[in-house]
Structure 1
Amino acid sequence: MTGRDYLKIWYRVQIAATLVILFMMIRNFELGRNIWLRLLWMVIILAIGLGIELTPHLPPIVCRVNAWLQAIAQSVILTFAWGVITREMIVLLHMPSRGVVSLMILFYFVMYAPFASVIGGQLHADWERFLFVLWMFWNVIYPYFNLPLDLINNPKLSALLTTGAVGAMGYFILITTVMRAWHLSWPGLKPHFSGDFNWWILLLLVVLFFVAALAPLFSGFKLPNHQRVFELTCTAFESGVGEETLFRFALMGVLFDALHNVQQRLPIALVTSAVLFGLMHLSNILLAGQSVPLTIYQALNATLVGLFLAVTYVYTGQLWLVMLMHFTSDWISFVTSNSSKIVGTLTSVDWLSLLLIAVVIIVLTIWMMFGQRRNVMERHVDRLTGKHQHFGFSIQY
């Protein structure tokens, strides 16, 4: 049996168990009508999904429609059920909240893996995959919406959930699973450097990054209290792991695959992922309450940083490296400003600095598009789209 076979068994058991839990909740007539109807719809959708999963030889159109129905709804249902189970274990069974939440966080890390393999694996078109990884990011990254925080009497556990740190880890495992189902790539945790890889270029990339990242340390700051530092560290972890998983690992992998017949797929994918990364930060106008000028500045800066990280990722083939870079940069910025959002007033110096950064990164990117540097990157692109990799590992008894 292959790993996907085991995930399929896990998926069926997990959906059946979720159905039982939701059905038991429906029987609670004390629930309001709106909640009762929502639960009923969840049960119907999961029942359809489980029925189709257990029924062989169905028409392809039925399986395709079900795949999209489950892809849209099932992640929401699973997160809701996760919150319900956690809450009921604390409230009804009177189990210690710290232990329950800790165990449920560990389960949250792997909860979406079967769903990603079975449902995500049925999405074959690149545009479907593109939408899937985006949709799952917003559904998985913040699980605390389904769990009242007043039940968690531990500030560190609350911080892990509210900052998205737990969701980032769950999303990373989900994307790693679905990328294997799509026969694209592992996340590049093991170096595969060849003779034409230039270590001086890697050193240049690292030095350029840390020169910019360490700059706030020289502006003078007061270190926040321990709990605040922990919260900011968790937020930086969400950025480093969650956002790099989405924009570098998932989206670039899908883009490379979609553009496999396009000669200039490398620069197109690099720029596209960077622009999307920048555009995502515009949501801080609503989510973080930032002013429009500050958010536009942040989005432009994020686009440039995203381009730099994309170049670094493809040249090295190492996702952990850009995760570490992103985490470090955000952590220093957050801790020195005691905030995870941009504060203050923009000056002409800020815009001139942004212009200088833009020139450096754009020139660097163009330079990386030629010679042996381009050859190294193209080889890594091939690997990131599944070439020269082995899929379908099996366990024999």
Structure 2
Amino acid sequence: MLVPIAVVHVGPIKNWFLCLLTIYFLDIQYGDAQNLAINPDFRWLHSLTYQGVIAAIALLTMTCFLVKAWGYHFNPNLKFIKSPSFQKKILLALLIMATVDLFYNEFINYDKAIWTVFFGVDIGSFKFSIPNLTAAIEPGILEETERYLLIVIFLAGFNRFPKYRIPVAIYGSAILFGLSHLSNFG
């Protein structure tokens, strides 16, 4: 319901720093996953709202309209083109590290020791549940939408500095994205 209001009031903003603040306020608005209280008897709806999937989809929808209002367009024709320095072993190392990270993040609640997390967890006791599914969907939508917005804003903000534009967008969005996860530390 807030899409028309946001597009009218936030769409005309062209200053990249103000757009960055807008993203912060949108994160406050949509980042709180438990605003919609639905009776737990309606398992799917309760799980979708309690885990924040509805809020994440709302932020994604808002993002599409805001990015369009800011004058940017999605390009679905992105193709993977190998650069001269592309190395398969680096890609393989990144995939292995991502897999280790995903596995560790999933099972860290059972034990903090990395050996126990990887080799001491009884996977046979796990079963599918709706809350587990929606808990996995929410960060995939919400956090990647936030990251996309940060990259777009940094690219726009440093448009006059083509040499530094891409590095600033990558490092700046990574730092802000990492800072938003600072509460996970320890």
Compute the TM-score of the two structures, normalised by the length of structure 2.
0.76
> Does the alignment pair 1:192 with 2:78?
yes
The one-letter code of the counterpart of 1:231 is P
Which of 143, 149, 166 in structure 2 is aligned with 1:266?
A: 166
The one-letter code of the counterpart of 2:42 is N
Aligned to 1:252: 151
Which of 99, 103, 123 in structure 2 is aligned with 1:214?
A: 99
The one-letter code of the counterpart of 2:165 is R
Q: Deviation per CA, 1:138-186, whole angstroms, max 9, x where unpaired?
A: 21233532x334x342223222112111111111110111000000232
Q: Percent identity?
A: 21
CA distance in 1, matches of 2:56, 2:27: 8
- Give the number of the structure whose residues are more often helix, by fraction: 1
Q: Deviation per CA, 1:341-375, whole angstroms, max 9, x where unpaired?
A: xxxxxxxxxxxxxxxxxxxxxxxxxxxxxxxxxxx
| Larger gyration radius, structure 1 or structure 2 | 1
| CA 157–282 in structure 1, closer or farther in 2 if over 3 Å, else same | same
CA distance in 2, matches of 1:138, 1:204: 40
CA distance in 1, matches of 2:94, 2:28: 28
CA distance in 1, matches of 2:174, 2:180: 10
Assess if the C-alpha contact under 8 Å between 1:179 and 1:185 holds in 2: yes
Aligned to 2:67: 179
The Cα of 1:119 is off from its aligned counterpart by 1.8
The Cα of 1:204 is off from its aligned counterpart by 6.1
Alignment of 1:2-41 (within 5 A): none
> Does the alignment pair 1:136 with 2:26?
yes
Aligned to 1:160: 48
The Cα of 1:134 is off from its aligned counterpart by 1.6
The one-letter code of the counterpart of 2:126 is P
Instruction: Choose between structure 1 and 2 for higher RCO, CA contacts under 8 A separated by at least 6 residues.
Output: 2
The Cα of 1:115 is off from its aligned counterpart by 2.5
CA distance in 1, matches of 2:154, 2:48: 31
Aligned to 1:68: none
Aligned to 2:176: 276
Which of 37, 51, 58 in structure 2 is aligned with 1:170?
A: 58
Name the SS for the 1:129 alignment partner: helix
CA distance in 1, matches of 2:89, 2:66: 33
CA distance in 2, matches of 1:144, 1:126: 30
The one-letter code of the counterpart of 1:266 is I
The one-letter code of the counterpart of 2:47 is A
CA distance in 2, matches of 1:130, 1:158: 32
Unaligned runs of 5+ in 1: 1-110, 285-294, 297-397
The Cα of 1:203 is off from its aligned counterpart by 6.4
Assess if the C-alpha contact under 8 Å between 1:142 and 1:162 holds in 2: no
**RMSD value, Cα:** 2.7
The one-letter code of the counterpart of 2:82 is N
The one-letter code of the counterpart of 2:37 is P
> Does the alignment pair 1:225 with 2:127?
yes
The one-letter code of the counterpart of 1:198 is K
The Cα of 1:268 is off from its aligned counterpart by 1.6
| CA 155–259 in structure 1, closer or farther in 2 if over 3 Å, else same | same
| CA 235–128 in structure 1, closer or farther in 2 if over 3 Å, else same | same
CA distance in 2, matches of 1:185, 1:204: 34
Count of aligned pairs: 167
| CA 168–254 in structure 1, closer or farther in 2 if over 3 Å, else same | same
Alignment of 1:48-67 (within 5 A): none
The Cα of 1:202 is off from its aligned counterpart by 9.1
The Cα of 1:132 is off from its aligned counterpart by 0.6
CA distance in 1, matches of 2:53, 2:92: 27
The Cα of 1:275 is off from its aligned counterpart by 1.1
Aligned to 1:148: 37
Name the SS for the 1:226 alignment partner: coil
